[in-house]
Structure 1
Amino acid sequence: MDISTRDDLDVLLRRFYTAAFADPLIGPFFTEVAGTDLDVHLPRITDFWERALFRTAAYRRNAFAPHSALHSARPLTAEHFGRWTQLWHATVDGLHQGPNADRAKAQGERIALAMLRRLGGKDVSTAGEGPGFVPLAAVELRAAA
């Protein structure tokens, strides 16, 4: 079943962030650096994705600013964004299939690349190694196709 409601997004995002918070590579950005409270963060990020997918929510925040602050405290690399993308894809695929699910994955890839570039990532094509890592080069090549 496809992503079709805000409730679908809430379930998807709660599952994604539970995995992201627990992830040894990117989890510390949420838990240690930002000190993210999921109950506070979830309505905001749900607004973001509701607007991105359905054009219905009134998300008016600057999505880049908190990532820039994180990057200033501890640099975010292509490996971090690649892991975020991998977890995002796995979570979407584990719950949904259809045009909105595909759009959510594609949008996640675009966001990861845009954030990395804005943060000054010089070489998104070769960064990262390790188990389970999805290099952003693969995302970049797909985006260019």
Structure 2
Amino acid sequence: MSAAREARDTRVVRDIRDRADLDVLLRRFYTEAFADPLIGPFFTEVAGTDLEAHLPGITDFWERALFRTASYGRDAFAPHAALHAVRPLTAAHFGRWVQLWRATVDGLHAGPRAERAKAQGERIALALLRRLAGPDAPTGGGDGGFVPLATLRLRTAAV
């Protein structure tokens, strides 16, 4: 086993504890999301998102969602609706967002708050998709639940 892999395998993974943890998590997530070929253009081309300007507000959002400590008085739906008006957001886009979000959380944290962050991310993705595309929008799941693309690919491979 290489020294790098051994170091990675023995590191202690802890739960999301505070705003500083959220800052690291969100920076890593958005770095990946901006570079992603499927959803990156929504951030870089359509919205022209400046990560440093975006980060404090999105950190407030997640701090409120996970710790109930920050105030977040913005409309989280409005920017997504504006993007959707320019280039439609689909279940594939939200599924990819969920994949990246879950992978980023799992890569940095483990525990009840990490699990809540992943579950909340899926709920948010589904809610946004349904508000943007309508309540009957395809979500990838036969039972009406939101199914991330990774799960769909696994189901397809098993058939």
Report the TM-score when normalising by structure 2: 0.80
Could you say which residue in structure 1 is the equivalent of 2:138?
123
* Runs (4+) off by over 2 Å: 132-136
> Does 1:134 find its partner at 2:150?
yes
Could you say which residue in structure 1 is the equivalent of 2:9?
none
Could you say which residue in structure 1 is the equivalent of 2:38?
25
Aligned to 1:88, what secondary structure does the other structure show?
Answer: helix
Structure 2 distance, partners of 1:125, 1:16, is 23
- Give identity over the alignment, percent: 76
- Which amino acid in the other structure matches residue 33 of structure 2? A
Q: How many correspondences in the alignment?
A: 132
Structure 2 distance, partners of 1:11, 1:62, is 24
**What CA deviation, in whole Å up to 9, does each residue of 1:4-54 have, x standing for no partner?**
100000000000000000000000000000000000000000000000000
Q: What's the offset of the Cα at 1:124?
A: 1.0
Q: How does 1:1-145 map to 2 (within 5 A)?
A: 1-121=14-134, 122-125=137-140, 133-134=149-150
Report the TM-score when normalising by structure 1: 0.87
Q: Check conservation: 1:82, 1:135, Cα contact below 8 A.
A: no
Unaligned runs of 5+ in 1: 127-131, 139-145
Structure 2 distance, partners of 1:84, 1:114, is 13
- Which amino acid in the other structure matches residue 57 of structure 1? A
Q: What's the offset of the Cα at 1:135?
A: 5.5
Unaligned runs of 5+ in 2: 1-13, 142-147, 155-159
Q: What's the offset of the Cα at 1:120?
A: 1.4
Moved more, 117-126 or 51-60: 117-126
Structure 1 distance, partners of 2:21, 2:48, is 25
Root-mean-square deviation (Å): 1.7
- Which amino acid in the other structure matches residue 98 of structure 2? T
